[in-house]
Structure 1
Amino acid sequence: MAFGTATAGDPKWWPAWIRYTVLANLCWFVFMGNCYSSGITTGFEDMAIEFRVGFGSLTDIVSWSVFALGVSNFFWMPLAMCIGKRPVILISMVIFLAGLIWSVYAPTLDSLLGARILASFGAGSVESLGPSMIADLFLERYFATAMALFALFLSGGSQIGPVIAGYLIADQGWRWFFKLCAILNAANLFFCLFFLPETSYRRPYVYSGETAAEADKEAIEMHEYKHGKNMGDGLATVPTGTAPGVPYAGSYWKDLVAFRNRGQEETGLRSFPKQLTLPWRFLVVPGAVYAVMSYGIMLGGIVIISSQIPQLFAPPPYLFDSKAIGLFTLASFIGVIVAYPLAGPMTDLLSRTLTRRNSNIHKPEHRIPALILPFLLCPWGLILYAYTVSEAKPYYAAAVGFAVQAAGLCFVPSVVLSYVVDAYPTEGGEALVLINAGKNLVAFGVTKGNAQWLASQGLKKMYGEMAAIQWAVLLLGLPLYFLGPWLRAKTQRFV
């Protein structure tokens, strides 16, 4: 089999400008999907008047959007394995755009709900394909840094979306928020047509190593063999940009319009039924299940706060209008921005440090201790937020709590996603399907029940229980750190 069967050369050795342009387009796409999903919460007051419904009914357009973002992964990733990741990204962006246009002109709440489910189904593709393509493009030692940037844009969409929506809704009405999303998504689609080549690559050898670090060593050895270029001792001498200045192996522009035989599966769509079943095998893999739980429960905390802000801050004593609600949500994005320099780079640095202390033997579990920081900080954000609002204290204290909780959306994904991709380099895409679908289903369940939860428990007790759940889930990372290699060995036959 030729070295570049599925695409023009191993993406890990593409020129830096191609790899970073692909990363930028993926970040833009995931930002827009989450901006659209969560941003409309600032318009709930205006929408309640127009549609003559209560806030409880309006939360459905958020919860079902989160649901569609998640379950769509079970469709998009198997399809990408059959026909390629580039065509799936482009198709899903067109569906997202169609849903956005429908949202602009939806005459009823039920119609808007249908539009948001369709749009979110399209936008959900990038939540699993994005990390999978990042794994295609970057060597193991830079996984967490690249994925933290992706997580920054993912969470940034959820936090900046309400700010943008707040000002647009106050000046132009809530439909203009959807118009802006449609314009920005159309621009993203245009750039992806020209600057998002196929990253699927059928390697002419099978990984003998069980981790991505060992697989990368084989990729380097193959590169040295094909190009007669000595890159030194394994990964240690790979340049910071992760590519040794190799020109694109083929015609870039011809590669963009080549859509035949681009997936990992050589039989194409005939493999689609089999691909649909593959993510489910990770239900018996403790590392993947832990990633679902930890990512989902952190996302759930953010979704609960975001969906309840209009209900808690529009009435006295705060009397926030849509602009003020939007600005309040900006606090959470500040938390994400502060967390980013620590999240990805810290995880990568910690992994390299523990590898050196382990006689230069790398284990994916070396990333897990980075969860100590979100364990110590993030659940306290929920408690501070609930205490401040329930006691009618100054809103800036609640904003600090929101920011601390939101930091977990950068910390946790950068650790657990890079851990799974590191531990299962050849099956990482299938694991990411389960993780991204699962975490959205967890968030959906929490969001659907949050109105009844608040009514029955009260604000302080509800958020205290949520914080306790987060502590319990993050604490499970401790046994995974020590038992992870043994658990991976025991469950290897299932994957």
Structure 2
Amino acid sequence: MTASILLKHASTDLSGSVFLIDGAGKILSLPIPSRSTRDPLNWSTRKRGFAIFSLIFFATVGLTQLLGLSLVYTSIAREYSTAVSPFRLEWYMTAPSLAMGLGGFLWVPLSLAIGRRPVFLLTSSILAVATIWASFTTSFQQILAAVCLQGLAVSLRFSSMLLMIIDLTFIYQRPQAIAMVWSLVTIFPLAFQVGIPAIIQVEWRTFYRMMIVPCGAAFLLAFFCYPETYFYRPAIAFNGHVLVQSATEKIQIYEGWEEVPGGKPLPNQPFQSRWRRWMSEYNFLTKMPGGWRNMGVCYIQIVMALTNPLIVWVALLNLLIFGGTIVILTTYASLLVHPPYAFSLLHASLSNLAIVIGALLAWPAAGIMTTQLCHRLVMRNGGVRDAEHYLPAFILPILSAPASLVIYGFAGERGWHWFWIFFSMGLNSFACVTLFTVTTLWVTEAFPRWAAPAMVIVGSGSYAASFALSFVMTPRLESQGFARTMCLIGILIFGVGSFAFPVAMWGRRYRYYVYGKWALHEGGSLRPQVRDMEV
């Protein structure tokens, strides 16, 4: 990679288009790593691997508890059937999901103010404390508050966690990394659901008491394995020139440091010992340039991003697919334990294995296939990767999600063989993981400066809105039946998904004209760059 090549293929400042493959066919490692030890792209594979593992473990522990709510509900209802005022028993299952949807509106902006690591430690602590509380509570009001705190903590999965994965990876690694994480954090919690019925037959508090140790382990992993990953990129010397890289991978080339705005950055301060170096990387608090101002700007960007059709489109698609998934997850157990199936609760929980298989198949489909397809499109485009190169991957969820809902609807209403219930759940899982993967890639690469607010909208915002949608769908299930209701959601998904074609044709042009005053603010970006700070 030479300076002339970088200059020739430099991205426009708000482009979302990146020169990714050079003339020799070599994939470039972007963002360009700095020499700083705080740069996560400078870490060893082992160190980055442990950081990603800590995220996966935390999400697995949290989701195992939240997905077990439907299995624990019967025992909770039996114990507190007459002592729930002023609340309702159903809130035990629904309120944590709402908290999980809304949590991203807190964690993402907060991570821009105090750093990713402090937010990760905070959510890990909340999860552990809430689990201890749930295991020893003696009233419905307390157990409801505890599981809501769990939902608030686990909301990290739909928001900041994806940005944290992006912090740790180069552009060409992201499709497979995101697909892997989404697949694993779906597979592990569901696989553990199989054993929950046997546990709660003893006493439902036993389930929460057994989860205290994994919650403690999740906090320890977060503390010892996840350093701060939000890194402001300095100007770097390269091949006799000085390269300044913006949040959009735009490369500005200067002949010397005297031409660089802000001058030469200060070098790393030498550490007197490994202990001081470790304390610098693993402390509780992180000094973030911009600080609380970044948090405030993020909320402004969230509001403004709601006017961007390229973000709203995928948010609506997520909303509908999330909503259909919630309907399936809240009805399948009741459907299977009643005639004509008459499964036991334990046998009904085996349907989770179908979801596991679907999520497992989505890993290569959303990761490897998307990577290969994008590589071919980039080669045909002269080595420049446009964000629109990820759009063909939307075909997978746009086709599989409606198909899964239609099959589930007819199978549930007409009493088809239980295989079709299981098959539809596996197909829906496949659709969700592929959708989450390509959605993350699209919004963060099309609008890299707006990555944080975009993930709040399409992740947490869509999930919270789908929660409301599931409430609308429940009365329709009773009045219109499974088949009509599920077919309606499927048609809406396919209709909204069809917008991928005009987005592919005209979206690139639109990205050049977005947004005005806050468009150049890098506080919420994927790869923030600063010229006048110590790194």
Same fold by TM-score greater than 0.5: yes
Distance 1:459 1:99 in 2: 36
Q: 2:56 aligns with which of 27, 38, 53?
A: 27
- Residue 125 (str. 1) matches residue 156 (str. 2): yes
TM superposition shift of 1:147: 0.8
- 1:183 to 2:206 alignment: no
Matched, 1:82 2:113: yes
Letter in 1 for 2:216: A
Query: Which of the residues 330, 336, 341 maps onto 2:353?
Result: 330
Q: Does 1:428 align with 2:458?
A: no
1:309 aligns with 2:340: no
Structure 1 residue aligned with 2:200: 169
Q: Secondary structure in 2 aligned to 1:362?
A: strand
- The answer for the alignment partner of 2:267 in structure 1 is none
Q: Which residue of 1 aligns with 2:262?
A: none
**2: distance between equivalents of 1:208 and 1:430?**
21
**Aligned match for 1:193, one of 205, 208, 223:** 223
Cα offsets for 1:321-340 (capped at 9, x unmatched) = 22112112221121111121
Structure 1 residue 139: deviation in Å?
1.0
Q: Which moved more, 1:443-452 or 1:157-166?
A: 157-166
SS in 2 for 1:26: helix
Aligned to 2:104: 73
- Which residue type is aligned with residue 119 of structure 1? Q
Mapped partners of 2:62, 2:388: distance in 1: 31
Kindly state the Cα deviation for residue 57 of structure 1 after the two structures are TM-superposed.
5.5
Q: Which residue of 1 aligns with 2:16?
A: none
Cα distance in 2 between the residues matched to 1:107 and 1:91: 26
Residue 437 (structure 1) shift: 1.8
Question: Which structure 2 residue ranges, 5 or more long, are not aligned?
Answer: 1-31, 236-242, 257-273, 520-535
- Contact map agreement 1:39 1:162 (CA 8 A) in 2: yes
Please name the residue that 1:47 is paired with.
76
Distance across 1 between alignment mates of 2:126 and 2:432: 27
Cα distance in 2 for partners of 1:113, 1:323 equals 25
- The one-letter code of the counterpart of 1:43 is V
Contact 1:293 1:473 in 2 (8 A): yes
2:524 corresponding residue in structure 1: none
1:315-357, Cα deviation, whole Å (9 max, x unpaired)? 2222222211211222112111112111112112211111111
Compute the displacement of 1:96 (Å).
1.4
Question: Is the contact between residue 155 and residue 460 of structure 2 (CA under 8 Å) also seen in structure 1?
Answer: no
Contact preservation (8 Å) 2:224, 2:282 = no
SS at match of 2:351: helix
**2:228 equivalent to 1:203:** no
**Structure 1 residues 65-121: Cα deviation after superposition (integer angstroms, max 9, x where no partner):** 121112111111222111111111001111111222222233343332222111211
Conserved? CA contact 1:302–1:405, under 8 Å: yes
Amino acid across the alignment from 2:288? G
Alignment match, 1:262:
287
After TM superposition, the structure 1 stretch with the greater mean CA deviation from structure 2, 252-261 or 359-368, is 252-261
The answer (yes or no) to whether the contact 2:183–2:359 under 8 Å persists in 1 is yes
Would you say the 8 A contact 1:291–1:417 is kept in 2? no
> Letter of the aligned partner of 1:255 in structure 2?
S
Please show how residues 332-371 of structure 1 align to structure 2 within 5 Å: 332-371=355-394
Asked whether the equivalents of residues 311 and 458 of structure 2 are also in contact (C-alpha less than 8 Å), the reply is yes
* Equivalent pair of 1:39/1:164 in contact (CA under 8 Å): no
* Contact in 2 for aligned 1:25/1:196 (Cα 8 Å): yes
1:104 aligns with 2:139: no
Corresponding residue for residue 38 of structure 1: 67
SS at match of 1:18: helix
**How much has 1:287 moved relative to structure 2?**
2.7
* Aligned residue type for 1:349: Q
Q: What do residues 401-422 of structure 1 show as CA deviations (whole Å, max 9, x unaligned)?
A: 1111111111111111011221
SS of the residue 1:201 aligns to: coil
Displacement of 1:131? 1.2
So what's the TM-score if we normalise by structure 2? 0.79
Identity among equivalent pairs (%): 23
- Cα 1:96–1:207, aligned 2, differ >3 Å: closer, same or farther? farther
Note the C-alpha offset of 1:301. Answer: 1.8
One-letter code of the match for 1:422? E
Describe the SS at the equivalent of 1:124. Answer: helix
Q: Which amino acid aligns with 1:412?
A: L
Computing the radius of gyration from Cα coordinates, the structure with the larger value is: 2
Match of 1:236 in 2: none
CA distance in 2, matches of 1:313, 1:106: 31
Distance 1:79 1:130, change over 3 A: same
The whole-number CA distance in structure 2 between the counterparts of 1:45 and 1:67 is: 20
- The Cα offsets for residues 185-236 of structure 1, whole Å up to 9 and x where unpaired, read as 211111111110110111124976674xx45x789xx9xxxxxxxxxxxxxx
Q: Count residues with an aligned counterpart.
A: 458
Residue 63 in structure 1 maps to residue 63 in structure 2 = no
Q: Choose the corresponding residue for 1:153, options 157, 173, 184.
A: 184
Distance 1:183 1:339 in 2: 30
Is residue 2:489 matched to residue 1:466?
yes
The answer to whether the 8 A contact 1:367-1:419 is kept is: yes
CA–CA distance in structure 1, aligned partners of residues 513 and 503 of structure 2: 13
Shift of 1:471: 1.3
| CA drift at 1:166 | 2.7
Q: Which residue of the other structure, out of 481, 485, 499, is the alignment partner of 1:476? A: 499
Task: Write out the 4+ residue segments of structure 1 that deviate beyond 4 Å after TM superposition.
Answer: 3-7, 56-59, 205-211, 249-252
For the Cα contact (< 8 Å) 1:4–1:10, is it kept in 2? yes
Any gaps of 5 or more consecutive residues in structure 1?
223-248
Partner SS for 2:158: helix
Cα distance in 2 between the residues matched to 1:195 and 1:452: 46
Question: Structure 1 CA distance, aligned partners of 2:321 and 2:144?
Answer: 25
